[in-house]
Structure 1
């Protein structure tokens, strides 16, 4: 218990400092931040075998209920279907502020119900760890898409698949240009192609900056290629991408493209 109190104090100091820095960075970006959500995206890198079952049980019985008690959500919990470094589970945590997200672990440490449910995962011995590494990044929602919008099938746990894409840009100028491009047509082009937009986030703290991440959903993996073909063949998209404002040079230098399946406890 004393060890956890020490961890809590360290987390509090680090989280508050991170929160102030990220809020200042968000405030410095063009446009208002009023009404826009923030997102923490966690990647749990696992080994095949016992780790995947233990981590799934941790999400279901400990993490998601505790985050819900904190007033955060809807919480997305996904297993990586296609992409590098499988098995990997990804958790998307929406929140109203930087502080709400950067102090999550502090509050979890103070939650006795969470600690009891999380004990098998939390205290796994070094000889049988419950995970390899956990990576986390912090985002602010795009001004033009300020709130996460789950697909209708999420409410009924219906069939659905997700695609999470991260665009890295070669410069901060190109990053701003790419974000602007979303606001001048790409949201609508995705909708016309039958791709449901879940969220769009501009990274504030994390690796590979400058970059943005967004998530789309569809009914099944079989629809993926057809819907992207419809997007790419949209004449308005072709016109926008050829516009000198956006087509003067490649504004995206690398794309991280992940296909995700929701786990049973996912609220998205």
Structure 2
């Protein structure tokens, strides 16, 4: 995000009258001041039912993820779509330290002997037995004050969980920047945390068919908790005040939204 866009985001956050940051949000801002935002690569592998999934799982688990971690990426999340568009298929979230690291990854993989050996069956597939139908890649940059993926607590305990991937679209860049400001400096992320909407990342989309847009990932123990916590969020007084502030209402800055419910697969690191 450019310095000008950052400045406009801060102004958008300052325009939210009467709102103050919690100690947790203030700590996040202090941390962000010395932490460069990550770049996220979201890979969507489109599949058809049959052996494709096994070929792709083997490649990701045994070749790509270990090598990408050696190259400085991660933690890497791998998800199936439980509810929403994109089934069957896999979504792979790859955090990169910088956009230069994203651009350098193919060369780093090619120079990694362990990767090329483990990936040989995948890279050697033939047209009559392909590993996927097609691959879409979206690049995103983490918000300045949410610069890193936050691993859910359940990751360590290997508990069942779900994720919700949401994208908000705006009709022009000023509206999109204002929406980012609501989250990044205006207190909306703090309301999320307080009402049980546990974030994993927030990011500005750098590529895509319907820019400007932003994307974020939340996690919940289960669907019932998701429904309950979204209801709590929707009735929260601070949220009601924020969403009715002139200049910040949905009709003014958000033109559309979509979401998917995702399930992590066994070897996902998120």
Q: TM-score, normalised by structure 2?
A: 0.85
Write the mapping of 1:124-203 to structure 2, written as runs, cut at 5 A.
124-182=125-183, 183-203=185-205
What SS is found at the alignment partner of 1:244?
Answer: coil
Q: How many corresponding residue pairs?
A: 244
Equivalent-residue separation in structure 2 for 1:216 and 1:180 (angstroms): 18
Q: Say whether 1:29 aligns with 2:5.
A: yes
Equivalent-residue separation in structure 2 for 1:28 and 1:102 (angstroms): 25
Equivalent-residue separation in structure 1 for 2:91 and 2:236 (angstroms): 31
Is 1:81–1:258's contact at 8 Å kept on the other side of the alignment?
yes
Write the mapping of 1:197-212 to structure 2, written as runs, cut at 5 A.
197-212=199-214
Equivalent-residue separation in structure 2 for 1:34 and 1:149 (angstroms): 14
Structure 1 unaligned blocks of 5 or more: 1-24
What SS is found at the alignment partner of 1:103?
Answer: helix
Is 2:40–2:139's contact at 8 Å kept on the other side of the alignment?
yes
Structure 2 unaligned blocks of 5 or more: 8-32
Residues 152, 34 of structure 1: alpha-carbon distance in 2 compared, 3 angstrom cutoff: closer
Equivalent-residue separation in structure 1 for 2:42 and 2:2 (angstroms): 17
Equivalent-residue separation in structure 2 for 1:26 and 1:266 (angstroms): 32
Residues 27, 115 of structure 1: alpha-carbon distance in 2 compared, 3 angstrom cutoff: farther
Deviates more, 1:30-39 or 1:46-55: 30-39
Equivalent-residue separation in structure 1 for 2:211 and 2:248 (angstroms): 20
Match for residue 84 of structure 2? 83
Q: TM-score, normalised by structure 1?
A: 0.86
Equivalent-residue separation in structure 2 for 1:220 and 1:80 (angstroms): 14
What SS is found at the alignment partner of 2:268?
Answer: coil
What SS is found at the alignment partner of 2:54?
Answer: helix
CA drift at 1:145: 0.9
